[in-house]
Amino acid sequence: MAAELRDLRARAGAQTGPASRGPDPRMFEKALQEMAAELRDLRMRAGAPSLRQLSTQIRDNDTLPATVSMSALSEVFSGRRLPRWDSLSAIVRTLNGDEREWRVRWMRLEELQAAQRGPRKL
């Protein structure tokens, strides 16, 4: 996992050393759009359920960790925001995706998003 994150930082344009400026802020947006496109592909392979159908299937499945509204689904599938893991997990499981594979993608995006925000101030 650490090696994957180092590779992700390198591909994102992260620099090392005292002159480090961090990753290019556009990398998070690009990666978020790529994830949204992959989610849309997963949705198509699952029979292209409408957002209403998907939201209902998630809500009606008691084994899933979260419910996801139609508006939240729209934001996720359009790449406007990175969902919490429990929401993405519910989407992926409902669409019969590989949860472990998507967890790695989500963690990479979390890392890019955190790098874009910069260090937290105390």
Task: Answer whether residue 16 is part of any domain.
Answer: no
Q: How many domains does the chain have?
A: 1
- pLDDT tens digits, 26-56: 889 999 999 999 999 999 999 999 999 999 9
Q: Is residue 17 part of a domain?
A: no
Residue 40 placed within a domain? yes
Domain limits for position 49: 2-9+24-117
Rounded Cα distance between 68 and 62, Å, is 13
**What does the DSSP assignment read for 82-111?**
PPPHHHHHHHHHHTT--HHHHHHHHHHHHH
Domain CATH for 103: 1.10.260
Percent pLDDT > 90 in the chain is 66
Closest to 23 (Cα-Cα) out of 2, 3, 5, 1: 5
Q: Is residue 91 domain-resident?
A: yes
